[in-house]
Amino acid sequence: MPRNRAFAQVDVFSRDPYRGNPVAVILDAEDLSDEEMARIANWTNLSETTFVLPPTDPGADYRLRIFTPARELPFAGHPTLGSAAAWLEAGGVPRTEGTVVQECGAGLVELRRGDQTLSFAAPDCVRSGELDEDFVNEIAQALHVDREDILGHQWVDNGPGWAAVRLASAQQVLDLEPDFSQIPDAKLGVLGAHPEGSDHEYEIRAFVPGVGVAEDPVTGSLNASVAQWLIASGLAPQKYTVTQGTALGRAGVISISHEDEDVWVGGATSVCFRGTAFA
């Protein structure tokens, strides 16, 4: 039987509300079926909608299920931060002060609170290593760039299925007008370096046509695994920031920090809408 449930919509990865990436959060989802969750997520038509449930792991503060308009994900970054922000604002009390532990399809994800920010510890990749050369050629065709323009490539899959390629410059990334009709299931991150002396290290774009989202405005999971790749390869410092969403009129900024063998991915969050969902 449908009933009123606490609901929030949270903007993630921008200090300017409505300039980051929104996530819809159903805070009381305990008796919703898989079908109902999928239907709600399809209806909100955001890149992700999340459902907060009681934890099954004794070490977790809550359990989270994450849906795109087309399917469920084991993990995603901006929904993790946005859901934690909504849970805390709604009165959630972590078992350990200053730390939130989320249970999801990827296991336990630790979050920590900063000065008006939240950060999560990047989960391990389930697939890494260089891409197959045939796939790289298909990506180059989809991006309308020469194969030689792709300076590096890697599987950076921490659940959603990400692959990533590196171009020479942020401007080259911003100028892309891709066509993924030949590889419609691709989940691709494309990054390029900002000019030396810039406030930020890289610009990144995330293309995910296969899950019903042509381009994701700001993407935590992709930035998490790309950071693991870049730092391990010496292509980025231990601490840096990334911009994303510029091509879509957003102002996303993602903070990356490598500490004690963990990569932390963080940003600002703003709870923009509060209310109830009838579901």
Domain definitions of the chain by residue range:
4-123+266-278, 133-257
Q: Which CATH class is domain 4-123+266-278?
A: alpha beta
What's the confidence (pLDDT) of residue 276? 96
Q: Do domains 4-123+266-278 and 133-257 have the same CATH topology?
A: yes
How much is the pTM?
0.93
Mind telling me the catalytic residues? 48
Q: At the topology level of CATH, where does 133-257 sit?
A: Diaminopimelate Epimerase; Chain A, domain 1 (3.10.310)
What's the confidence (pLDDT) of residue 68? 92
Q: What does the block give as tokens for 217?
A: 């405005």
Q: Of the candidates 166, 114, 122, 119, which has an alpha carbon nearest to the alpha carbon of residue 140?
A: 166
**Which three-class secondary structure string do you get for the chain?**
CCCEEEEEEEEECCCCCCCCEEEEEECCCCCCCHHHHHHHHHHHCCCCEEEEECCCCCCCCEEEEEECCCCEECCCHHHHHHHHHHHHHCCCCCCECCEEEEEECCEEEEEEECCCEEEEECCCCCECCCCCHHHHHHHHHHHCCCHHHCCEEEECECCCCCEEEEECCHHHHHCCCCCCCCCCCCCEEEEEECCCCCCCCEEEEEEEHHHCEEEECCCHHHHHHHHHHHHHCCCCCCEEEEEECHHHCCCEEEEEEEECCEEEEEEEEEEEEEEEEEC
What's the confidence (pLDDT) of residue 40? 97
Q: What is the pLDDT along the chain (279 residues), one digit of tens a residue?
A: 789 999 999 999 999 999 999 999 999 999 999 999 999 999 999 999 999 999 999 999 999 999 999 999 999 999 999 999 999 999 999 999 999 999 999 999 999 998 789 999 999 999 999 999 999 999 999 999 999 999 999 999 998 899 999 999 999 999 999 999 999 999 999 999 999 999 999 999 999 987 767 899 999 999 999 999 999 999 999 999 999 999 999 999 999 999 989 999 999 999 999 999 999
Number of Cβ within a 10 Å radius of residue 57: 12
Determine contact, residues 118/269, Cβ cutoff 8 Å.
yes
